[in-house]
Amino acid sequence: MANLINDSTIPVEDTINADYIISLSEIDGKSAAPIDLTMEAIKQIKLPKLVWQNMNSQPTKMKLTNSGHTVVLSGKWNCPRPHLSGGPLLNNYVFSQLHFHWGIDENEGSDHTIDGISYPMEMHVVFFKSTYLTQEAALKENDGVIILVYFYKVVSTTNSTLESIVNSLKLITEPKTSVKI
pLDDT of residue 98: 92
Q: Tens digit of pLDDT for each residue in 51-83?
A: 999 998 889 999 999 998 899 999 998 888 999
**Average of per-residue pLDDT across 25-54:** 79
- CB-based contact 150:123 (threshold 8 Å): yes
User: Hey, what domains does the chain have and what are their CATH numbers?
Assistant: 7-180 (3.10.200.10)
Q: Tens digit of pLDDT for each residue in 143-165?
A: 899 999 999 888 889 888 888 88
pLDDT of residue 23: 46
Residue 8 has pLDDT above 60, yes or no: no
Residue 124 has pLDDT above 70, yes or no: yes
Predicted TM-score (pTM) of this structure: 0.79
**Which residue type occupies 133?**
L
Tallying the residues shown for the chain, one arrives at 181
- CB-based contact 108:98 (threshold 8 Å): no
Q: What percent of the chain has pLDDT over 90?
A: 38
Residue 12 has pLDDT above 60, yes or no: no
pLDDT of residue 131: 94
User: Distance between CA 48 and CA 51 in Å, rounded?
Assistant: 9
**Average of per-residue pLDDT across 102-121:** 87
- CB-based contact 85:91 (threshold 8 Å): yes
Residue 135 has pLDDT above 90, yes or no: no
pLDDT of residue 66: 92
- CB-based contact 148:127 (threshold 8 Å): yes
Residue 2 has pLDDT above 50, yes or no: no
